[in-house]
Amino acid sequence: MAVRPRSNGVYGGWTRAGRDRVFVRIPSELKELSRAWNVFADNGGPPELGTTPIVLVHGLSSSRTLKPLIRALGSRRPVYAPDLPGFGLSDQPIHPLDVPGLANALRRWLLDNKLAPAIVIGVSFGCQVAVDLAAAHPATVERLVLVGPTFDPEAGTPARLAMRWARNVPHASPRLAPSLIHDFIDAGPWRSMRTIRRALDDPAERKLADIEAPTLVVRPERDHLAPADWTAEVADRIPDAELAVLPKASHSIGPRAAARLTALLEPFLVDGDEELEEDELDEEEIEQDELDEDEVDEDELDEDELEEAVG
């Protein structure tokens, strides 16, 4: 498989989900962990990981805009950021997929590349895809993070959403502008508008109660696309969720905000590691109990055989 050149600590290459090619970006630490990166071409699976992988779900652009977060999180954990079908460098479906369609495609990619269950982090529109994935396919999501969930019921129309976006521009990281423009050109205005309309029509609020995974909802402090009332409502509707505010951050996660977000997420991710270790210990204890029971059964059989021999 051809590997894209490294771009400031981020590598990219094509993976597979069924017959479709899916472009994915990973941190340099993960690339060095797996020198045989081209095994992905045949879905040979990712390298052996010592902890649960993080999968980033991008917004209405592609994983290009997530490079600062890939670098920040990737220094501590295995991170994968795929381009969803129709976005970035992944294969284009004949028609733009709706939110459930994108969630199903992400599920297929996770399973085909042996990355489930994963810690899924949705950013912006990616929150809707992550919510649908966690609600419809709970076995694929170990923990869920929603950063700046957009398209609340009050957003209403593309025009109203555009007004929110305009208010957000002065606070956005200028370093992300080239990536956003590039992604818009790749997708085309028609596909971008169709995706926005389908996102607005998706009733994300009705799915929140079905999420089983522990969830952290993050609202960037200066985010005008994700209102404070809406993010609080999202956290309230999810059974096992908490709300956090990311200080001095806008809707777009630039390098500085990515470092602060990584620090904010660490306690939540560590809690997940501790729960996983406890589950593994419980499984080991159960296996040991079963072995002890087998030994007792064997001892009883030996005693029965001895009595028969004496008789």
CB-count burial class (<10 Å; 0-12, 13-18, 19+) for 57: buried
Domain chopping of the chain, boundaries: 3-280
Pairing assessment for the beta strands 3-4 and 215-220 based on DSSP bridges: unpaired
Is the sign of the CA dihedral 11, 13, 16, 17 positive or negative? Answer: positive
CA pair distance 108, 100, nearest whole angstrom = 12
Contact (CB, 8 A) for 167 and 223: no
Which of 98, 102, 103 has the alpha carbon at shortest distance from 135?
103
pLDDT of residue 131: 98
CB 120 within 8 A of CB 134: yes
For the CA atoms of 108, 48, 4, 106, the dihedral, rounded to the nearest 10 degrees, stands at 20
pLDDT of residue 103: 97
How many CB atoms lie under 10 A from the CB of residue 114? 12
CATH of domain 3-280: 3.40.50.1820
Per-residue pLDDT of the chain (311 residues; tens, 9 = 90+): 445 555 578 999 999 999 999 999 999 878 766 544 444 444 445 556 678 999 999 988 889 889 999 999 998 889 999 999 988 889 989 888 999 999 999 999 999 999 999 999 999 999 999 999 999 999 999 999 999 998 777 776 666 666 666 565 555 555 555 555 555 655 556 566 777 788 888 889 999 999 999 999 999 998 888 889 999 999 999 999 999 999 999 888 988 999 999 999 999 998 766 665 665 555 555 455 555 555 445 455 455 554 554 44
Beta bridge partners of 4: 12
Query: How far is the C-alpha of 93 from the C-alpha of 245, rounded, in Å?
Result: 36
Task: Specify the pLDDT at position 169.
Answer: 56
255/8 Cα distance (integer angstroms): 12
In 3-state terms the chain splits into helix, strand, coil percentages (rounded to 5) of 55, 15, 30
Q: For residues 69 and 56, give the distance between their C-alpha atoms in angstroms, rounded to a whole number.
A: 9
Which segments within the chain are labelled E, that is strand?
A: 3-4, 10-17, 20-27, 54-57, 79-82, 118-123, 141-147, 215-220, 241-246
- The predicted structure's pLDDT at residue 79: 95
Closest CA to 3 of 33, 36, 29, 42: 36
Helices (H), 34-157: 67-74, 99-112, 126-136
The pLDDT, as a whole number, for residue 170 is 54
| pLDDT given for residue 126 in this prediction | 94
Q: Would you list the DSSP string of 161-198?
A: HHHHHHHHGGGS-GGGHHHHHHHHHHH-HHHHHHHHHH
As beta bridge partners, residue 219 has 245
